[in-house]
Every structure is written in structure tokens, then in C-alpha cells.
Amino acid sequence: MEDKILESIAYILPAAVTGLVAYYMFNGFINNKNSEKKLELLALKRKEALPIKLQACERLLLFCDRINPVKMLMRIPPISTNTNDYIQLLIANIDQEFEHNLVQQIYISEDTWTAIYAAKNAVTNKLKQEAKTAKSANELRENVLMEYTKSVPPTEVAIDFIKSEVRSLL
């Protein structure tokens, strides 16, 4: 009887060891295949999202360029000599551009969006500040243009953030 038990163990032990080795090998193989598929799907998602993110960066860079005080004042002439009318026109233009591009924030980093939002607010505040002392719309234009010949517009900082984000995407 002991011989039969030893003989059974002699048959069962190698089969069990082979079964366990096969189980671990197949389990590792399946896990590896699942990881590869996840990486492929992630790469495909990134490949599909890249053009959308780049387009968002392009639109936001264009926004920053359009609200650059120097370029905006050259593009939008005063509608009258009244300073308040002109400042309202400029701020309405900035707000309209901003609202048009508001949704782009979901495609960029938080830091870049903060820089763009800060640039918009800085431009608006500077225009309002200069409007308080200007006696006419033309004087407002001259004061703002003179101010930004001495310093870098805040939109340039935002543009630098956008450019660095594009570099990180590529």
C-alpha cells in the first residue's frame, strides 16, 4: 500500500509542479499582454488628443496676441474723443476675445491658464488705470503706447507659458 501511495505521489508531484509553473507563466504572460494593450490605448489617446491640445495652444496664443495692448490699440481706433467710450470698447473687445476662448482651458495646464488669465486682468487693469488720467481717447492711446515701450506687456509672459507647454507636448 505504501508503494502505491509513493507511486501516486511520484505521478502527482511533477504534474502539480508543472501545473503551478504553467499557471504562473500564463498569468505573467496575460498580465504582460494587458499592460501592453493599456499602453497602446494610452498612446492612441495621446496621439488623438495632441492635435486638439496644439490647436488650443494656438488659439490662446492668438488671444494673447490680440489683447496685447500695443497691437490692440493699433487695431482698434477710438470711436470718439471720449475716453470712457474708448475704454469700454477696448474692454468689451478683450472680454469678447476671452469668452470666445474660455473653453480652451481644459486642454492646457493650470499654470498656463493662470498666466493667460493674469495677463488679461493685467491688461484690463492697466487700461482702466491709464483711462483715469487721460483727457481724451487719443491721449489714452498715447499713454498706453508709451507705457509699453518701456516695459514688456503681460501678454508676453503668457505667450512664454504657452510656448513652453507646446514644447512639453512635442
State residue 3's pLDDT score: 77
Per-position pLDDT tens, the chain of length 170: 777 787 778 778 888 888 888 888 888 888 888 888 888 888 777 778 788 999 999 999 999 999 999 999 999 999 888 999 999 999 999 999 999 999 999 999 999 999 999 999 999 999 999 999 989 989 989 999 888 888 889 999 999 999 999 998 88
State residue 28's pLDDT score: 86
State residue 19's pLDDT score: 86
Pure H helices in the chain: 2-66, 69-75, 83-101, 110-133, 137-150, 154-169
pTM, entire model: 0.74
State residue 69's pLDDT score: 93
State residue 117's pLDDT score: 96
DSSP state of 77: -
DSSP state of 135: S
DSSP state of 67: T
Give the span between the Cα atoms of 63 and 94, in whole angstroms. Answer: 9
